[in-house]
Structure 1
Amino acid sequence: MALILASSSPRRKQLLEMADLSFRIITKETDETFDPALELNAAVADVAKRKGYAITDQVTAEDIIIAADTIVVLEDRVIGKPETREAAIDILTRLQGATHYVITGVALLKGKEEVVFSERTEVLFHPLTPQQITYYVDKYQPFDKAGAYAIQEWIGVTGIKRIQGDFYNVMGLPVSRVLQEIRTLGYRSDKD
């Protein structure tokens, strides 16, 4: 039995390494379009499920696939990854002083078994100055991050007023819950 991370996210990789898990990474380009018939929590979990099933032909029935997708939601609107410096500044300007939600959908797949869920964390930024926002964007280049920020970087340390929920979910994977759920699929590490 092997753990397979179906994600190229450096943050998800880092979180599983922090949990001292041995795993391999296998990814495949997958359509990340939301099903409009689903509410957001279910839609993001559905995307994670599609990412996991996309690689099932490359693993054994005993392997456990960990797939995830993360979105940022402000006022019922999904905030994606910024494509430009100006887009990142605009996103962070809208997020500052406001409460938003980070939702991560997770799919854990083993043969015909699946555990699919979503985790939601509320995040509130302090009001940030235009200079702080520009400094962060120019120094950290958050173009590969939903919501244009990473909570573990400078902006999280200096700009987050409060979070309610799983901190690591905001990084991209509710790793503690993932650990609990993979045990239900029969996974045991040498630390269990």
Structure 2
Amino acid sequence: MKLKFSSVEIKSDLLPHNENETNQYKEIAGYILDTISENPYFDMEIDDKILYFSTIFTTKLIEGIVDNIYSYAYSRKGAKYLSGDASMSISEAITYATFNILYNVKFSNIIPFRSVKYLGTIADAMIDLTKEEKLRKSIGAEGGLLFINIRSSMNPRTYYILDKIAKSLMNIEIVRYPNNYGVVSLITREDENLKETFIYIKP
């Protein structure tokens, strides 16, 4: 499967951390979206075997998920009938496969949290950076944890994507702040292109 990939970084001190400042997240999300639109994307290809393997680690094990990913990516007719569980698993599979391809992250080092969110866990997954040298060096970290939030939107409307970015940042800061790292994996579609952007939050 082919997609376009890009990444941006923001410093933690740009984000509000007081309750009376939470309304600023929408404004910051707008700034991030502007940065993403100006950022160059590069072509990336995910081998079907890696994609299939990554589905094993998603929250829901769904039969035929790789076929559904292609429907999702290329807007085939069946995509609109996908359940929330299917779309959630698709975005997780793509994100985990991307970490594996770009940073050589072992699937076994990605700890998913989504199935225990009702216990108060906010992030979707976590990676121990001390175990992943390439990823750690890539984001300029010496150690710590990387908390992951995964969001996808096939709706191209700007306000819809802004809302997803703002809510993801707000949620991930609850577990990341002050000393760890965060990333929002944002998967969108533009025309016939599937795009993935990693928004890194650094302390």
TM-score of the superposed pair, with normalisation by structure 1: 0.27
Structure richer in helix, relative to its length: 2
Q: Which structure ranks higher in relative contact order (CA pairs < 8 Å, sequence separation ≥ 6)? A: 2
